[in-house]
Amino acid sequence: MREDTLLPWFSATKVVTAVAVLQQWERGGLAPDDPVAAHVPEFAAEGKERVTIRHLLTHTAGLAATTGAGQDWDELLATACSSSLVAGWEPGRRAAYSPRLGFHVLGEIVRRSDGRAFDAYVSEEVFEPLGMADAWLALTPGRWKAYGDRIGVMHHTAGGSARVIEALAGPEGFAEVLPSSSGIGPPGDLLRLMQALLGGGELDGVRIISAQTVGAMCARHRAGLRDETFRAVIDWGLGVMVNSWQYERRPAPYGYGDAASLRAFGHGGSQSSVAFADPDAGLAAVLVFNGMAGEPGHQRRTQPVMNALYEDLGAGL
């Protein structure tokens, strides 16, 4: 493990996709309260006509289908479009984190709005402007080979020993573009995105979205709802988790420690990462581990690290 080691970001990738959606909002290609079906007509199947882009960004849409593992871009889109809503679900009134399908549809909306493949769009409109030189949404076999031992090997560590995750040990594990979870790069590259958001959408003189849009992104568009996936009350902005420490006086799953301000926002990645920015503390931070420790184990290791970070910096509440 070195500073330039590439590691999967998993669902922290959702911050990247949210930025792409908000860029299209600024450019007039969409609006948060547009019905999804206005951009992807086939999504209206099975009674989903009232689901909006905001519902997807805040995980309040209620898609009954939740996985889609092992499917390619078109197959995932078809699964999302053919899905019904959870029985009795009123979009916007309940919350359940959607690991894959909701953000896959958001990626398709950006693709149709802009015309470029989603990974090309993200590289040209987010990664390259911010100098995220080794960040990708997919690795071609040639690119994977060229990085060589710079690609970190992921392990299962929940059982007390480290076992290589074979599905992520070769190029096939990074070949698919997933707007929900396929981001890969050095943690420092992901940090540059969080620094840009901390800076109101600008880093090193390059602006990717306006400060007003960043403000909208970080506002509590979903507040006080119990997330039926995480089984905890978690507030959500437009594609980001907003600090929800106040509900139980402790960090929510994938939270930002005990000292983070209530304005802190960001996203975690499955059992291995968390990326966040805290405007009140002037802090952006990224943690990425090469061991997937299980949900409880990941929470036990990340929260003390973030508490220590705030303590060392003399920041926080």
- Asked if residues 250 and 258 have their Cβ atoms less than 8 Å apart, the reply is yes
Nearest in space to 185 (alpha carbons), one of 14, 12, 4: 4
Under-50 pLDDT residues of the chain: 317
- Asked if residues 307 and 274 have their Cβ atoms less than 8 Å apart, the reply is no
Q: Give the integer Cα–Cα distance in Å for 60 and 225.
A: 10
- ∠ CA(82), CA(84), CA(89), 5° rounding? 155
> Which pLDDT belongs to residue 317?
47
Q: Give the integer Cα–Cα distance in Å for 177 and 276.
A: 23
- Asked if residues 278 and 261 have their Cβ atoms less than 8 Å apart, the reply is yes
> Which pLDDT belongs to residue 316?
54
* 3 state DSSP class of 277: strand
Nearest in space to 16 (alpha carbons), one of 113, 103, 105: 103
- Token pair, residue 167, equals 């599905």
Radius of gyration of the chain, Cα coordinates, nearest whole angstrom = 18
Residues 6+ apart with CB under 8 A from 278: 198, 243, 256, 260, 261, 263, 264, 284, 315, 316
Q: Give the integer Cα–Cα distance in Å for 258 and 250.
A: 6
What homologous superfamily does CATH list for 1-249? DD-peptidase/beta-lactamase superfamily (3.40.710.10)
> Which pLDDT belongs to residue 300?
93
- Asked if residues 100 and 67 have their Cβ atoms less than 8 Å apart, the reply is yes
pLDDT in tens, 159-179: 889 999 999 999 999 999 999
> Which pLDDT belongs to residue 288?
96
> Which pLDDT belongs to residue 66?
73
- ∠ CA(22), CA(237), CA(247), 5° rounding? 175
Burial of 258 (0-12, 13-18, 19+ CB in 10 A): middle
- Token pair, residue 71, equals 């499917």
> Distance of CA 189 to CAs 121, 135, 170, 185, 269, Å?
17, 6, 22, 6, 15
pLDDT in tens, 63-121: 998 776 778 999 999 999 999 999 999 999 999 999 999 999 999 999 999 999 999 99
DSSP 185: E
- Compute how many other C-beta atoms are within 10 angstroms of the C-beta atom of residue 297: 16
Query: Domain extents for the chain?
Result: 1-249
> Which pLDDT belongs to residue 159?
84
